[in-house]
Chains A and B, each alone.
Chain A
């Protein structure tokens, strides 16, 4: 019951967040670029049209060109002349529309494919770009189809470069990446790095922390070194690590190791040092000392603290791995973020961010569950 309750609350939180996100997108969205002109071919007619549009994408002026079988193209000179004649009408209109890739015809054209790009090129020459080409097979429907396609292309192009993608786009990018198998590949790569580095970090950090907490001399010996190395961001180790460890992959694992090792060792040591004297004395009293005392008294006593430090270290590792993967590796969520950014695919960037966040949450809650179990066992932190 409590579970359902908190699940509903969590869902509500996600909805509110998504709504806020969408509001931000709307608020920061640039005004849609206006389409000043477009060209399309009506395949059924065997003719091409060039149209100049007004501010509401309504037709102002149209020229129709015949298909020239001999030159297998349009009479470009005619087009140019027409466009020149209409230049004044176009003068006040924006022409910086991102040049679209020539949209391919909806279905197989019986019409030579190169004719549209040719038309487009001619238009570009005439007024510096901003034409959309489209082919249509249904007689008479060319204009509407072309306009719809042109507008959507325009929006899409503008969006992927200048806009924060709205939630539904990020989700569809997420779906695409998941179905294509790319996302699982990156997730596995990142998880593997984190697991490898973290396991090393824990395997060395816990025993060292236990030893440092138990022996004051060891703590004095290592403390200053550790406290000096600890504030260095693991990312700062990347160049050195890549140089010595031969390869960005090893370097990333090493960096995760560092990010987990220090917090685990330091907080385990601190926890051991504060184990209640009466537990130590109870153990001593019953003749339990040395390694037995460590195993049966100290470790159980500090287990909640160790679990907390593991959770925090894993959280740090998960943060750090994304940064570490931005250099030199070819898989992983950090790589995905960087790669998508380079391709101006911000919908993918956000999709990767969503996945990073969700996995972080999953890791945190699963360890927190153990932690809570151990705390409740000890009569602490029960709610």
Chain B
């Protein structure tokens, strides 16, 4: 499907007017049931996932939060098919995940775009080399526009700022028109301003394209700003402690009481004292 750009610029300002696409009501996209994962190292076994159950609905924005080192990235890597699991099952659209697929694209913690390719080539990478140039160009330019990098087609990643690189990575992921985006702390390496801007950007893109987004983060505020639902993981070996519904309409204001309450609730679930 193509992104509806008209929609993007018509984000209503009034609360409640913007409803995430089919949020809440959709069918299950990813079904994770009883997943166990242990890393075997020289020093011994490290149990990381210990019976993780989670359903991700179609087209929803789900965030996974948890303490550092609890296994968030591991879980996302398993869902993406980069890592195998010891037991349990991970199904997408009813099919067991065995390997990565272009239908589900991973956005890396620190940008995973290829530094030797130009912006254009990076975004076109996933489209394959057999696609006719004209068609490829049209798609690439569309996503360059979408992420606001017009004029930088020929630039190399080394000539871009951190935020711009992250936009390129989003564009590369979106260009293959996947069903699902896996986001592993995609804003982790960015400064506070850029991070804020990128969050707005990702919500805009998500609304425009209607992907299922699975975001891993240890930033509770980020999860509350972005997600429809927030899965809270326990310490390693990890399970899903609780799945919190986020009823707030977009755009969200972190200073609102509902927002703060939601955050407090998540911190409580994590067992973290929020005040310094």
Contact = CB atoms under 8 A, between A and B. Distances in A.
A52 interface: no
B116 interface: yes
B105 interface: yes
Given A377-B158, A378-B116, A378-B158, A285 B80 contact: yes
B114 A376 contact: no
B156 A377 contact: yes
Contacts of B114: 279, 282, 297, 300-301
Interface string A253-285: 000000000000000000000000011011011
Nearest to A288: B125
A300 B105 CA distance: 22
Given A281-B82, A377-B156, A377-B158, A286 B116 contact: no
A319 interface: no
B168 to A, nearest CB: 12
Interface in A284-331: 284-288, 296-297, 300-301, 303
A287 B102 contact: yes
A112 interface: no
Chain A contact residues, majority secondary structure: helix
Interface-centre pick from A285, A296, A297, A374 (highest chain B CB count, 10 A) = A285
A272 to B, nearest CB: 15
B243 to A, nearest CB: 27
Nearest to A299: B116
A181 interface: no
Contact of A282 (B104, B108, B116, B159): B108
Interface in A350-383: 374, 376-380, 382
B216 interface: no
B116 A301 contact: yes
B101 interface: yes
Chain B contact residues, majority secondary structure: loop
Given A278-B110, A282-B114, A301-B116, A379 B156 contact: yes
B102 to A, nearest CB: 5
Nearest to B169: A282
A382 B106 CA distance: 30
Contacts of B176: 286
Contacts of A278: 108-110, 112
B115 interface: yes
A325 B156 CA distance: 46
B67 interface: no
Interface residues of B, number: 26
A249 B103 CA distance: 58
B125 A286 contact: yes
A327 B101 CA distance: 60
Given A301-B116, A377-B115, A377-B116, A284 B108 contact: no
A374 B114 CA distance: 13
Given A278-B110, A285-B80, A378 B100 contact: no
Contacts of A288: 125
Interface in B74-123: 80, 82, 99-102, 104-106, 108-110, 112-117
Contacts of A380: 115, 158
B21 interface: no
A378 B115 contact: yes
Nearest to B110: A278
Contact of A303 (B105, B112, B116, B126): B116
Contacts of B108: 278, 281-282
A279 to B, nearest CB: 6
Contact of A285 (B105, B117, B157, B159): B105
Nearest to A376: B158
A379 B112 contact: no
A285 B158 contact: no
B115 A379 contact: yes
A382 B158 CA distance: 10
A281 B115 CA distance: 15
B110 A285 contact: no
A367 B108 CA distance: 33
Nearest to B99: A284
Interface in B122-136: 125-126, 128
Nearest to B101: A287
A281 B158 contact: no
Contacts of B157: 379
A285 B100 contact: yes
Contacts of B113: 282
A377 B157 CA distance: 8
Contacts of B125: 282, 286, 288, 296
A382 B156 CA distance: 14
Given A278-B110, A377-B156, A284 B116 contact: no
Contacts of B158: 376-380, 382
A242 to B, nearest CB: 43
Nearest to B77: A281
Nearest to A276: B112
Nearest to A282: B112
B106 A281 contact: yes
A106 to B, nearest CB: 69
A377 B116 CA distance: 6
Nearest to B126: A286
Q: List 8 A-B pairs, minimum CB-CB distance, nearest first.
A: A379-B158, A286-B126, A278-B112, A378-B115, A300-B116, A278-B108, A285-B100, A282-B112
Given A278-B108, A297-B114, 12 more contacts: A281-B80, A282-B108, A282-B112, A282-B113, A285-B101, A285-B106, A287-B100, A287-B126, A374-B116, A376-B158, A378-B158, A379-B157
10 contacts: A282-B106, A282-B113, A284-B99, A285-B80, A287-B100, A300-B114, A303-B116, A378-B116, A380-B158, A382-B158
